[in-house]
Amino acid sequence: MRARPVILHLDLDAFFTAVEQLHKPSLRGKPVVVGGVRGRGVVSTASYEARVFGIRSAMPTAEARRRCPNAAFLSPRFEAYRDASHAVMDLVRELTPLVEQVSIDEAYLDLTPQHPQADVGLVGELVGGLRARIQARTGLTASVGAGTSKLVAKIHSDLAKPDGQIVVPPGEEAERLAPMAVRAIPGVGPATAARLTAHGIATVGRLAALDLDEVVALLGKAHGTQLHAFARGEDDREVVTERAAKSVSAESTFETDVTDRVRLAEHVRRLTDRVGERLRADGLSGRTVVLKARRHDFSTLTRSTTLDQPTDADAVVLRQALRLLDGLDVADGLRLLGVGVSGLSLYTQPDLLDGLLDDRPGPVRTGTVEDDDEFVRPDAGGGALPVEEPAGPGDEAPAADQPAPRSPWRPGQDVEHVEHGRGWVQGSGVGRVTVRFEGPNTEVGRIRTFAEDDPDLTPADPPVWQPEDAADEAAGS
DNA sequence: TCTGGGGTCCTAGGACCC
DNA sequence: TCTGGGGTCCTAGGACCC
């Protein structure tokens, strides 16, 4: 806990619907619901006008329609929301560089660098100025809580909604929290609240009065310890500006439950494509492939398998995901399928290059080699090495007991034909080899082909690869 | 027309190693 | 030669958040 109320939590009010009302004036002042508009959709955001009818986030859209048939029901337009979010976060970063964006419409700020001595009055002025600028420049309203910790800031941005702000004076944390319902603490959901209530603990004050041992016995070590501290207003968490992704996944719910394995397999392939595209666009590869299934009764299963080497190749992920699907009983029907990859690593891990760098170290480049590229493996005497074809959509799924074919490439191998730098095989998968580059005139990006005569690789005309190119390419353009 | 889609973190048991 | 104990990895499930 800090001595001064320098931690802020900013939350945009009814963000998705606010953007829609901004773009379409006829929606202003009317009930608007953004979410899944089809059969099994749920509400993402309800405008304040729609909340009057009892419509809430996560409510089935069908229920929302019953409550307010005349509301506008819109599918989300994430690109518009991302643009608006960027505009807001740019303004936020003018106040402090210590910004932790936790979702598209929420961020924590730490004012310490600019205003280490800020008091309640100054913080109130700064927050008021920020909110006014956000409204003037984007048309959106934001609510802000401020205090000595993330916990206090977060709880009070909620209380300030809509279009308000609360700065909690240092020292008042515990007494303000005490009368609140336990559900007000972030991390206390329906299950934890029910468990606490069953033991007669309804308020934060009651929770704070318990011994640590009692809370841990009730809620487990990690959760119990944290909630015990939170209930007392104690929270030392830092504002973290960068956070590495831990997993990438895609999932979707069927209109009606599906039992047909052919349809399920086809769906797994589409999900795998989406995951693979995003892995490659972000320069990531992962070792663990996860298949998620939700059954007709809403129970959820996960099956996972871990590879020897990280991969970002669709064919590798697909083979594993189909194997996992084979092991599932689908006779009663599935309502959802998901594919994920975790155990992620960045292709560009500087420590792997230690001792291998050129005399003139340049920026690092990460690339992917397609199966039609010719490679010369140094220990193979200069012969071209075949790379196995990736499985096509029409290929049969391999038998469950058949081990995945291994790529002939091994991490650490040198790639000789790169003329203006050096390359090493870093990640390897069947049909796709990831190569790491170090040399002048390179930038982080994606490399499509690596034929020796590739004009992009001639020293006379050094390539300039932009991350945007990589994203476009991964998107299939 | 009950219950989306993208994540994070934790727990617990078994395997395996020393 | 009736049985230890710690550490790590893997897998499955669940709570929670926006």
pLDDT for A93:
97
Q: How far is CA A259 from the centre of its chain?
A: 30
How confident is the model over A356-371, as pLDDT tens digits? 333 223 333 334 443 3
- Whole-angstrom Cα distance, residue A184 to residue A205? 12
Q: Is A211 helix (H, G, I), strand (E, B) or coil?
A: coil
Share of chain A above pLDDT 90, in %: 71
How many CB atoms lie under 10 A from the CB of residue A56? 15
**CATH number for A37:** 3.30.70.270
How confident is the model over A405-434, as pLDDT tens digits? 333 444 444 443 343 344 444 443 333 344
How confident is the model over A213-226, as pLDDT tens digits? 999 999 999 999 99
Task: Establish if A227 belongs to a structural domain.
Answer: yes
Enumerate the β-bridge partners of residue A425: A435
Among A79, A100, A106, A438, the active-site one is: A106
Query: Is the pLDDT reported for residue A86 higher than 60?
Result: yes
Q: Which nucleotides of C are covered by protein (CB under 7 A)?
A: 9-18
Those residues with Cβ within 8 angstroms of residue A158's Cβ, 6 or more apart along the chain or in another chain: A11, A143, A145, A184
Single residue among A121, A144, A170 that ends a domain in this structure: A170
- Whole-angstrom Cα distance, residue A126 to residue A134? 12
- Whole-angstrom Cα distance, residue A23 to residue A15? 12
A34 shares a domain with A16? yes
Confidence class for position A346, pLDDT limits 50, 70, 90: confident
Active site (annotated) includes residue A396: no
Minimum CA–C1' distance nucleotide for A271: B5
Confidence class for position A315, pLDDT limits 50, 70, 90: very high
* Interstrand relation of A165-167 and A142-147 (parallel, antiparallel or unpaired): parallel
Q: Is A400 helix (H, G, I), strand (E, B) or coil?
A: coil
Segment A93-107 shows an average pLDDT of 97
Segment A437-451 shows an average pLDDT of 33
- Whole-angstrom Cα distance, residue A71 to residue A212? 48
Minimum CA–C1' distance nucleotide for A222: B10
Strand B contact with A104 (CB < 7 A): no
A81 shares a domain with A56? yes
DSSP states of A330-370 as a string? -TT-EEEEEEEEEEEEES--GGGGTTT--SS---EEEEEE-
A183 shares a domain with A165? no
Mean pLDDT, chain A, integer: 80
pLDDT for A347:
63
How confident is the model over A193-216, as pLDDT tens digits? 999 999 999 999 999 999 999 999
pLDDT for A1:
78
Q: Which domain holds residue A56?
A: 1-170
H helices of A282-422, in order, are 314-326
pLDDT for A449:
29
A102 shares a domain with A84? yes
